[in-house]
Amino acid sequence: MANVVSIAAAAAASLPWDVEAVRADFPALAQLVNGHPLVYLDNAATAQKPAVLAALENYYQRDCGNIHRSVHQLGERATEAYERARRTAQAFLGAAEPREIVFTRGTTEAINLVAATYGAANLRAGDEILLTGMEHHSNIVPWQLLAERTGARLQVAQVNDRGEVEMEEFERQLSPRTKIAAFGHVSNALGTVNPVAEWTERAHAAGAVVLVDGAQSAPHLPIQVGALGCDFFAFSGHKVFGPTGIGVLWGRAELLEAMPPFQGGGDMIASVSFERTTYNRIPYKFEAGTPHIAGAIGLGAALEYLQTLGMTRAAAYEQELARYGAERLAPLPGVRWIGQARERTAVFSLVIEGVHPHDVATVLDTEGIAVRAGHHCAQPIMDRFGVPATTRASLAFYNTRGEVDRLAEGLEKVRRIFQG
Ligand code: PMP
């Protein structure tokens, strides 16, 4: 829980958070939806964008060339901007070297990459892959595919009634056969912040390699991969206020070097003949073909923006919003809130007795309030709590107490409509 403790400390010492100034950087927040000022509470699905748009426009309108191969000015500018984004991602994660940053399409592709390369090269029949009961489908299905190919088995650390995996349960599922442990840092469905540094230590002691799915932590917590101790860390650009279609896999250089390539094609090779192909050095070995150049540049701009804001201050503000949200939503009659972990981000997964989550979200939308209704690509955790779906409000550092009030009022309206 080092992250959350340090957030609390920073909260006490922090500068005031000027949420209105921050909001002014996000043009999409300033619109009316169904006649009401938009309240955007679907940040776990995708976040709104700040200065990223200018970086995309600049690439497409000024620096549009392919990377790593053109000697002309535009190609050089594009290459420089793309590699600068890699260095920004390195700094954002506290990684040792830029070559440990692989650009992918997102978290999903990053996990698939590790499963298909490291996993296929190192797992055998009878080996185990440790997951938790709160994983996103992206951190389940790639391992199932790997298990089918290799004969390895999935072990699942179960979730308690608060929406946490207890350490004893985590350790119970580890064994000398565990070759990979892959778990989310923060649950998208519940907001639970997992003690990933401690879990990593235990998994390493059992001899496993550790992948952390950071899709929901990178937007909300300061990340230092060295402090987490993991071997791989994945996140998505669109959830850290950057473009869609781009993400990052961080991996330890020695592991990435030893892994076979993921896809074959241009840029990932050193030399090709029909008899034999040799591969490029990392990270290029894993970036076959023309990548999402504009996306990487846009992601770099988003990460620079976050660094300027300060992730520790942003997280401290969000923790305050989470506390306020809990105060505001807890007394609402007929509203059940699943996942009440002691360490949480500002995510509220709600069930209103007798009302389908899609109806809740539809009524909220008429009030200009955007939330997500569904299983949140995490069906096993929905099953665990005995619900097919929830209505999820997920907040970011640009949300306000006033918006939390609007959510609470919207939920009251839902209850009036459906429960009379
Ligand atoms: N893991 C978690 C915890 C997520 O919340 C998500 C996205 N909802 C993903 C993985 C997959 O991310 P993407 O769709 O951007 O690849």
Domain residue spans of the chain? 2-49+310-413, 56-307
Is ligand 1 within 6 A of the CB of residue 300? no
Q: Do domains 2-49+310-413 and 56-307 have the same CATH topology?
A: no
Is ligand 1 within 6 A of the CB of residue 220? no
Average pLDDT value for residue range 157-169 = 98
Instruction: Evaluate if pTM is beyond 0.75.
Output: yes
pLDDT at 11 > cutoff 70: no
Is ligand 1 within 6 A of the CB of residue 237? no
Strand partners, 212: 183, 233
Q: How far is the CA of 257 from the centre of ligand 1 (A)?
A: 26
Q: What pLDDT is recorded for position 12?
A: 44
Q: Which of 94, 31, 135, 85 is nearest to 294 (CA)?
A: 85
Q: What pLDDT is recorded for position 14?
A: 54
Structure tokens at 78: 């594009």
Average pLDDT value for residue range 356-376 = 96
Q: How far, in Å, CA of 36 to CA of 403, rounded?
A: 12
Q: How far, in Å, CA of 247 to CA of 236, rounded?
A: 4
DSSP 242: S
Q: How far is the CA of 117 from the centre of ligand 1 (A)?
A: 20
Of the listed ranges 13-27, 317-331, 386-400, the one predicted with least confidence: 13-27
Question: Across all residues in the chain, what is the average pLDDT?
Answer: 95
Q: What pLDDT is recorded for position 4?
A: 42
Could you identify the atom of ligand 1 that is nearest to the CA of residue 377? 8
- Is residue 283 reached through a cis peptide bond, with omega within 30 degrees of 0 on the bond before it? yes
Mutate to test the pocket of ligand 1, among 108, 137, 235 (most ligand atoms within 8 A of CB): 108
Of the listed ranges 36-45, 47-56, 134-143, the one predicted with least confidence: 47-56
pLDDT digits (tens, 9 = 90+) for 302-312: 999 999 999 99
Q: How far is the CA of 107 from the centre of ligand 1 (A)?
A: 6
pLDDT digits (tens, 9 = 90+) for 215-232: 999 999 999 999 999 999
pLDDT at 13 > cutoff 60: no
List the CATH code of the domain at 56-307: 3.40.640.10
Structure tokens at 1: 């829980």
Choices 3.40.30.10, 3.40.640.10, 3.90.1150.10, 3.40.50.10140: CATH for 2-49+310-413:
3.90.1150.10
pLDDT at 2 > cutoff 70: no
Mutate to test the pocket of ligand 1, among 216, 217, 394 (most ligand atoms within 8 A of CB): 216
Burial pattern 205-243, b for ≥16 Cβ within 10 A else e, equals: ebebbbbbbbbbbbbbbbbebeebbbbbbbbbbbbbbbb
